[in-house]
Structure 1
């Protein structure tokens, strides 16, 4: 606990924060950076072995999506596969938008750290300070830190209190549903992924910013980073170039959609591969939040606590055989009805791998590991996945 309090102090006194950089317009020309221009272009760049592997998955595993691999300032592979609309035979392109599922949590965590840097939020203050409407037995002992770390003890989801009807619901209605749930364990006792954690964080963003969650994300992340193809999905106003979602149902690939209204601030964003790379590039270069905030975001702790920092999982990864020490993998994925997504950043090799897919039943982590191995020049299966990357 002491180390976190020290880091919060550093956040307060740090004057060269990501927020300062944003306010002074330091990234207004981010799209002019050469590698970002290349990634956001429509040009396909193929790595022969990687292309052969991913092409094989289109038929054998229903891979339908886009893959981007960038090492330092060089694109290793950038290509699209399959259809965004199978019924009308419309192919995927680099402007195709995908639901991100739980990868949305990484964006929300950054927004929370921006509020910390602005002096509006204390990670270790009681959540009830910010959400007095939260039911007392759920709020007892609960802090923002525990919400971010998935150690709140709250219910995993809303399954026990709603039938997820096909409709839009308001944040107020969402909080009313959360207040009907029951705590599973005491706060801080156990790591367990819960959608309620980030729903509450979204409500806190609204309380402290005086804006609705979508407006805050636009003003403080999407617009400053020029993420023109990224946003919050809505049931009745989907993204204009969104892929259809598919999954395996009773042995058949069927079109299916998720109820985004119940995924507020936990799995409700959509994006493109170009926007995701731009966001990741800005994050890794300290243009969104301070380095002290990044340390907290990327402090995954131990495996027993899910290797979960604040909205990111971090763990060791296998480097080239010539290196005995592992690198640090910073990642988050997302899986929901019809979609799966993966963002991986390998720090010591400055390697980014992004996969976006509109077929839910895909072993996306396994695929990402194999892609990383191919980048390093190893054949698939040549090395054992020692760290479960």
Structure 2
């Protein structure tokens, strides 16, 4: 019972003599540390949102713009061409500020709007530069002057060290190919599979589709492409990935290994401890966005980093017709499978990631555990080998 009492922060009993209250300071301390860690992570995420939200500029550039505007006004010049005066005239009457205070406040508002406009302009220019594709057709070892100028401009606009997701809002949208090109590629792909009569029939059906339903669907695609960075990603995720009823064991699952050709130790528990620690250290960098964005090798073109967000803390829950992706902001344990048994292994203590040696000790206890699996527990893994609906 002592262990159960320590698991709660407080308990009280009512007796004829009054209320007897007992506090567990250890549990309260754990609650305090958990809340502190949660707020630290929340503040870090807010900070990263601000930094990547103003990229390719920096938050400190706002202060530079404000100082420049105020210095220009101090020199008896109006850089806003009358906009600061108009902002001052439309300030709420409830502000009990002096005339000088209202002017400074108006200058701050104008500087902020100018700063945001500059950020949008820089982001638009970066998106236009990243839409350039002529570099793919350059001869190896030879680069045209136009491509050199393009690469220089991209480096200048992205000279600040970016976070992992800094380029997400600057990446160009996936263009919708013309329906005529799509039908031509389709006919080219089915031509080897059809005889002459069948191919003639496919050509007629393609022409009818282009004149009727095809053009209407094309307009819908273009409308979606206006607000979606990738008009096909959500459909691909649902209809190709989540709605697939084939077994995921050999079709979708992935795995990781520590060393392939090097054996630093023969201890299975030690290798597992090192691997788990390395994975959590990598997850920490992903959460803090400390990783450099991936780029096409040999170029300055950044790649989309959206897939990194669900690399950890994400599971695919099976359903009858479609599966559901579930993602958690944080997780402090890993699931360990050994001899038909599942264990929940906690890898954090008071906000500190356990060392490889400490995790090795926990893994070794699992390996030495002689207990038997619960009824049916050893057969749960077989469900991923069957059809999703049947399982």
TM-score (norm 1): 0.20
Computing the radius of gyration over CA atoms, which structure comes out larger, 1 or 2? 2
Bigger relative contact order, structure 1 or 2 (CA pairs below 8 A, ≥6 apart):
1
- Higher strand fraction: Structure 1 or Structure 2? 1
